[in-house]
């Protein structure tokens, strides 16, 4: 399902509030060979990275597996400062424009972290993990697991 959807787009921008979905999106982008601009926010913190399959670290290189259900609060449970979505979303849009226009330096192999309480940006360098289950030298994830359930892993279903 995800591969079919992603086949119609050049760049995927992720802003989901669900770790299972984040990993599915990362994996689908890898198999579809689509750049992924990941953004995440929680409370007063946000982060952005750009992932280019087979050229940069993937989401699994940084976060190996999703945390167990219920371990990390969702935005709905923990809250988020409203303007943070705009700040992170604007950075994601800028990343998309850089990829489309072939200009600047995308956030590949870098995680841009924003602390809204301190109004502080921090750049964290990340590297492709040669032991990564998805994009490593000897991957163990060789196909996309997508059960077709758009609400897989969601705490609340509509």
Q: What is the pLDDT of residue 157?
A: 36
DSSP H/E element including 114: strand 110-115
Q: Check pLDDT > 70 for residue 58.
A: yes
Q: Is residue 45 part of a domain?
A: yes
**Does a structural domain hold residue 26?**
yes
Share of the chain above pLDDT 90, in %: 74
Report pLDDT for 155.
Answer: 40
- Domain of 106 in residue numbering reads as 2-125
CB atoms within 10 A of CB 4: 10
Tens digit of each residue's pLDDT (9 = 90 or more) over 92-146: 999 999 999 999 999 999 999 999 999 999 999 999 999 999 999 999 999 997 5
- Nearest-angstrom CA–CA distance, 37 and 131: 22
Residue 115 lies in a domain: yes
Longest dimension (CA), the chain: 42
- CATH number of the domain residue 20 falls in: 3.40.50.720
Is the residue at 135 inside a domain?
no
Give the list of residues 6+ apart from residue 116 with CB closer than 8 angstroms, or none.
Answer: 44, 45, 46, 81, 83, 84, 87
142 within a domain of the structure (yes/no):
no
Phi, then psi, of 120 in degrees rounded to 5: -130, 125
Residue 148 lies inside a defined structural domain of this protein: no
Q: What pLDDT is recorded for position 149?
A: 53
Instruction: Give percent above pLDDT 70 in the chain.
Output: 92
State how many domains the chain has: 1
Say what the pLDDT of residue 148 is: 52
- For 32-52, the pLDDT digits (tens) are 999 999 999 999 999 999 999
Instruction: Name the pTM for this structure.
Output: 0.88
24 lies in some domain: yes
φ, ψ for residue 115, nearest 5 deg: -105, 105
């Amino acid at each position: 399902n995800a591969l079919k959807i992603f086949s119609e787009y050049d760049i995927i921008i992720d802003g989901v509030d669900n770790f299972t979905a984040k990993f599915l999106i990362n994996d689908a982008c890898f198999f579809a060979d689509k750049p992924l601009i990941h953004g995440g926010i929680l409370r007063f913190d946000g982060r952005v990275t750009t992932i280019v399959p087979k050229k940069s670290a993937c989401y699994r290189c940084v976060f190996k597996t999703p945390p167990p259900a219920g371990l990390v609060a969702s935005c709905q449970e923990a809250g988020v400062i409203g303007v943070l979505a705009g700040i992170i979303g604007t950075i994601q849009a800028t990343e998309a424009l850089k990829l489309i226009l072939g200009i600047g330096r995308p956030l590949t192999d870098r995680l841009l972290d924003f602390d809204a309480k301190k109004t502080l940006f921090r750049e964290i360098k990340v590297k492709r993990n040669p032991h990564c289950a998805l994009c490593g030298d000897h991957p163990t994830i060789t196909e996309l697991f997508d059960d077709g359930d758009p609400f897989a892993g969601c705490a609340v279903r509509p």
